Amino acid sequence: MKRAVVLVLAVLLLLPLATPVMAQCPSEGHTVIMHAPAVAKTSTGELTGVVTEFVITVTPGSGHVYIETWPLAQVDMQASARLATQVAGRVLGVNMSHYDVFIQVRANTSIIGGPSAGGTMTVGIIAALMGWKVNPNVMMTGMINPDGSIGPVGGILEKAAAAHQAGVKLFLIPEGQRIQYVQETQKKEIGGVIEINTETKPVDVVKYAEERWGLKVVEVKDIYEAVYYFTGHRLPKPKAPQNVQIDTSFLRNDALSDYKNTTDYYQRVMKELKESNVGYDTYMTLLAALNNAGQLLNQSKGYIDEGLYYTALSKDFQARIVIRHVDWYLQTNTPKDVEELLKNTSETIKSAEAYVENQSIRGITMLQAVAAAEQRIEDAKSNLDQAWKSYYSGDYWDAIGKAAYAYERAKTAILWTDLGKRFAKGEPIKKDLIKATARDYIDESDLIVAYIESMYGDVLGNSLTDTIEKAQQYYDDGKYSAALFTAMQARVQGEVFLDTLAITNWTVLMDKLNMVKGDAKAAIGIAEEKGITPILAIAYYEFAQSFEELAKKNQSTDDLQTAMTFYMYAKETANLFLSTPLNPVPKVPAGNSTVPEVSIPTATSSPAQSSTGSATGEADYGLIGLFAIVAFVVGLAVGRKL
């Protein structure tokens, strides 16, 4: 017994000397305390707004980001906090590898969490870095995107209620989300029969919050506007170039050559079909397929005439898949012939993959092209796997069709690689940089999907989850460029879902599309000003235009959302690796601790043009006392494009 007591005492004496395996408590730096609305689920599954407290401390360090939530959030916030730190450093021109960021999140109940507080965290990190005070009468909801724009979120009406309950004067929401759609259920009893009707109605959050609570709601486009409303300070913002022209003429010769070759191929296979000895039913089936390919070629010619060369190439690609399917079907007479065809396709894919892998990625333009090529190689391999499955199950028609797609997909990988080589310049991009960026995008995309599922259930099926899993597989296989752009696509699809949730009104959707279209054009213009030809972004933009025209022609909201998705692909792709730091923002002189006043824009003013209020105080928080932080480091492809 005495021996046990001695051992216990020895352990207790040694405990102060032990080094805990956790984040070190910050002993210097700046701390900012902010509040943000979040959503939680009630016992009946309904969403309700709650207020969360963010204690954000930035200290000299080595680039770590630590976040603690209490109670634990349903969706992890680590990836969002990491992105907020990156964006804060980028807009200030600060190297964040020289700082550690500590974020404590407190709420009275378990919140859903996720990316919706990304904008708030970014503002807090910027304020802590600069020593600025934030206005306690301002709250915000919104994701932070890598380019500094504020992304869409859910539960805005519930969050507005939470902001009102907290007594704030100004509530910031993502641009384009002032109109929310809610479902109203009405019950009527007629002759003893209860009739239940559900109707979707639009709610103008700005008017609703003003009339009900006197709460001002303002839409913000990016972190620059958000920082102004919280601190009264304006950060230097990149200026979008004027009169940007989206031009795919660099693809003109490729489109003309591809159209001619595909048309020649079509005519040759049509002749072979007519001279074949297949039976009537088979002949009619194959003829219908070739007629469909002919229609696609007619569309391609129309797009060439309009100067939409990428879209024309995509139509040629679709036509060639059909033509090759018919061609190969006519050439195969036995299962052994099909087997040989699949083996030859496998060799074609391997050759294309080796060609892509042997490239040195020089410059951002080539990175985009090689990423597109890697995605197409992996797509080809996946379809060939499906072809083998069909072969072994005895479905030779399907096996040939999937092999035809795989073959043509591998050929487009070579086209994209050659495009990249055509525009290659500068020093090779380090593989570790692409790998780290891909990891961030995968984590962010996974976070958005988890957030959507926590808010709305399994409304998306497996489409986004499958895309993220595909990105993760590319990452595990060392295909970091493909992983990066595949995860980016998943992120965009999640954002489009949140931004268009329950909206069927054509005018509202068109307003959103025009906003995204303008952002995409500006991003491409900025890239071109920096001497970069963002070929993939330009191609996405043109493809979006073709869907926009289809949407207008057919009044199709599905085509409109597809156009939005490709415009956002264009924006994200053009911005990648271009968000270089601006000139560092000068440090604020110490001694002024005035809290900035709320400045609400009028019909003729905006954050970019209205003047700062008289009390736009500049504060230096000085040293903050020690506090303990526990670190929780937790870890629709649309259309057939070329």
As annotated, the active-site residues are: 116, 159
CA neighbor of 535 nearest in space, from 251, 146, 241: 251
Distance CA 84, CA 101 (A): 10
Q: Determine the 3-state secondary structure of 150 from DSSP.
A: strand
Distance CA 260, CA 11 (A): 82
Q: Report yes or no: 596 and 133 within 8 Å, Cβ to Cβ.
A: yes
Angle at 147 between CA 528 and CA 618, to 5 degrees: 120
Q: Report yes or no: 483 and 471 within 8 Å, Cβ to Cβ.
A: yes
Q: Determine the 3-state secondary structure of 44 from DSSP.
A: coil
CA neighbor of 496 nearest in space, from 458, 464, 454: 464
Helix axes 78-92, 431-456, angle to 10 degrees: 130
Distance CA 538, CA 566 (A): 10
CA neighbor of 127 nearest in space, from 455, 617, 500: 617
Distance CA 238, CA 575 (A): 12
Q: Report yes or no: 177 and 499 within 8 Å, Cβ to Cβ.
A: yes
User: Which tokens sit at 347?
Assistant: 């060799």
User: Which tokens sit at 393?
Assistant: 């199950």
Distance CA 429, CA 420 (A): 13
> What sign does the dihedral 107-108-113-115 (CA atoms) show?
negative
Distance CA 41, CA 456 (A): 11
Distance CA 290, CA 267 (A): 9
CA neighbor of 83 nearest in space, from 285, 243, 223: 223
The one-letter amino acid code at 124 reads G
Q: How far is CA 487 from CA 92, 225, 464, 552, in A?
A: 27, 28, 9, 29
Q: Using only the alpha carbons of the chain, give its radius of gyration.
A: 28
Cβ atoms within 10 Å of 424's Cβ, excluding its own: 18
Distance CA 260, CA 248 (A): 19
The one-letter amino acid code at 32 reads V
The one-letter amino acid code at 35 reads H
Strand-strand pairing, 170-174 and 216-220: parallel
Residue 598 per-residue DSSP state: P
Q: Determine the 3-state secondary structure of 183 from DSSP.
A: strand
Q: Determine the 3-state secondary structure of 68 from DSSP.
A: strand
Q: Report yes or no: 77 and 69 within 8 Å, Cβ to Cβ.
A: yes
Residue 117 per-residue DSSP state: G
Task: Give start and end residues of each alpha helix (H) in 362-395.
Answer: 364-392
Q: Determine the 3-state secondary structure of 604 from DSSP.
A: coil
